[in-house]
A and B are shown apart, each in its own frame.
Chain A
């Protein structure tokens, strides 16, 4: 019984991690249709921001939950203004540009931080569940993921910015005709997506450690989750995370981490074969 609790807890943590690393991409790719191949590097930068801030003596919670998203969000706005805004509606060019950007960011991080694994210890100690002990930090990841998704949903559903952003993504010309400045909305939305990626990078840093090339480990999973999720970005990301995270974790427990990853990829291929539009292309069509 304890084991079941602990295992479902681990699975929940995997789901939460997957949802966190994908949510920034869900906004940038799912909503803005920008194929951002530098998404993994945004996570990497978030991780470094958290580690540098923590080592500089800033409280680890402030570092991961505030410094990481702010730093990467600002970087995101700068990148949108200097690169991405010239490429809207040109997916192939965007891919090339963001791929180049990803190589550039890896190179810069290697120059600045060295090609070494940096890490910080996870805060918050451990919890006892029956005979088992788990890291309390896992629980925190789950809570953060829920809070992030709730906040995004609320912002897009209830605020003026959310309404304007959604309308601009649907029809920029019409939004402009109604007095909205689409260019600014794009910049802010890209910044929000980048900031969420940064937040995820910061939150994951104590678990995985950070190297300049860690983005490669994230970017594929994030794309698979967002594409598997389909057109409704929040419901899609959550449902795809639940499916892939649970499969990965259960198979990992039954066999090895390698087979777990393979199972995740097989599940994604099968899913897209039967639902090319993703999960929310078939179910929960009316969800946000």
Chain B
């Protein structure tokens, strides 16, 4: 028995070593081949779980951008291959898949992360592993890290227009409902700032964990406070029930709503028109943008994904455009290597994209872009007002990557 197991172990070791050597060779060969053949990028998005409504359109957008670039001949003569990871709305999967993308797939860039919490999990991992990172969600501002580019809009671009516009339209008393994590808390603080600066008053402020579904007593509190309108920073599937309960109480006809997040998960298609009519939005992109670039984009997109595709969301467009920014950086650098691409992107790349002129601000690695106010009517969004080329002033107030290239902070901007 002992002999036997000894022999077994020895043979096992031999075969094992042989197999390992074989595998090693194969993988080295495979990698060398892949490097010649394609440029790899990875997407890490929540395609299932509570945030899937936001993640799926982003995945379609990145798929579409990669296909378009490949059909046009690829980058530097190579095709782009997209590696997709579904992070399942599970915070543990973000660092794990970030590591896999960086170490196993050796991608040139990672695109993704939806909530700010997930970004702050991915960012240090990708920085440590020297892998370029694009974060394409509107967020609270303040990230200062040379390894990341943020293409989403920040409060100085969004709330600075959205809050005063709504106050002019409806009145000066605001009740804020927000998700209870960094994005919701900080966005509520910015809302307070722009409200008081414009002579308004916050009459109530409530925060909800992402799994809260019962808003009954909150709806009574709102009625008691009698605001002129609601400012909503609600996030995810569970919070959707607020819109249902609000309408069920008949309040949708009494107090109007402005929302920072409505439509990023195509909610206007899931909820009924009565539940969403009149909600005031503020984004970089709406499908209704009347520009040749956008019309051409929508034609191509609907050919690929069908004429009945629900809606190209803000986050989807930011994701699509971020791939083009990255591709422009790669072209300019002549390589997909990280540092040359970062330097090329910092040289002030500016593109005409479906959402209008879109430029990288070298000082903050955020973007300068047009901002639009829209309003939902029967599942369509009409554009009411446009503001051209808004700077990410919140982040540029605290972050200067030209002066401090080694900065690696998430500044919580004092509001």
| Closest CB in chain A relative to B272 CB, distance in Å | 5
Contact in complex: B218, A257 (CB < 8 Å)? yes
Expressed in whole angstroms, the Cα–Cα distance for A13 and B211 within the complex equals 20
Contact in complex: A3, B224 (CB < 8 Å)? yes
Contact in complex: A122, B53 (CB < 8 Å)? no
Q: Does B238 contact A (CB under 8 A)?
A: yes
Contact in complex: B244, A122 (CB < 8 Å)? yes
A residues 100-118 with Cβ under 8 Å of B? 110, 114-117
Stretch at the interface among B63-71, B147-155, B246-254: B246-254
Indicate with 1 or 0, residue by residue over A114-143, a CB within 8 angstroms of chain B CB atoms.
111101011011101001111111100000
Which residues in A have their C-beta under 8 angstroms from that of B220? 3, 6-7, 10, 132, 134, 253
Contact in complex: B248, A115 (CB < 8 Å)? no
Indicate with 1 or 0, residue by residue over A250-268, a CB within 8 angstroms of chain B CB atoms.
0011001110100000000
Q: Does A195 contact B (CB under 8 A)?
A: no
| Closest CB in chain A relative to B120 CB, distance in Å | 22
Closest to A114 in B: B48
Which residues in A have their C-beta under 8 angstroms from that of B254? 133
Which residues in B have their C-beta under 8 angstroms from that of A209? 213, 237-238, 240-241, 244
Contact in complex: B275, A121 (CB < 8 Å)? yes
B residues 201-223 with Cβ under 8 Å of A? 206-209, 211-214, 216-221, 223
Contact in complex: A126, B248 (CB < 8 Å)? yes
Contact in complex: A217, B270 (CB < 8 Å)? no
Expressed in whole angstroms, the Cα–Cα distance for A228 and B213 within the complex equals 24
Q: Does A14 contact B (CB under 8 A)?
A: yes
Contact in complex: B237, A117 (CB < 8 Å)? yes
| Closest CB in chain B relative to A11 CB, distance in Å | 9
Q: Does B287 contact A (CB under 8 A)?
A: no
| Closest CB in chain B relative to A179 CB, distance in Å | 48
Residues of A within 8 Å of B, CB-based: how many? 39
Q: Does B50 contact A (CB under 8 A)?
A: yes
Q: Does B245 contact A (CB under 8 A)?
A: yes
Contact in complex: B217, A10 (CB < 8 Å)? yes
Contact in complex: B237, A14 (CB < 8 Å)? no
Closest to B212 in A: A257
| Closest CB in chain A relative to B74 CB, distance in Å | 34
Which residues in B have their C-beta under 8 angstroms from that of A208? 213-214, 238, 241
Output the residue of B48, B240, B245, B254 with the most chain A CB within 10 A: B245
Contact in complex: A137, B214 (CB < 8 Å)? no
Contact in complex: B216, A115 (CB < 8 Å)? no
Expressed in whole angstroms, the Cα–Cα distance for A74 and B290 within the complex equals 55
Contact in complex: A132, B213 (CB < 8 Å)? no
Closest to A13 in B: B216
Given the known A-B contacts A116-B53, A119-B244, are A256 and B206 also in contact in the complex, defined by CB atoms under 8 Å? yes
Which residues in A have their C-beta under 8 angstroms from that of B245? 122, 135, 207
Contact in complex: B248, A257 (CB < 8 Å)? no
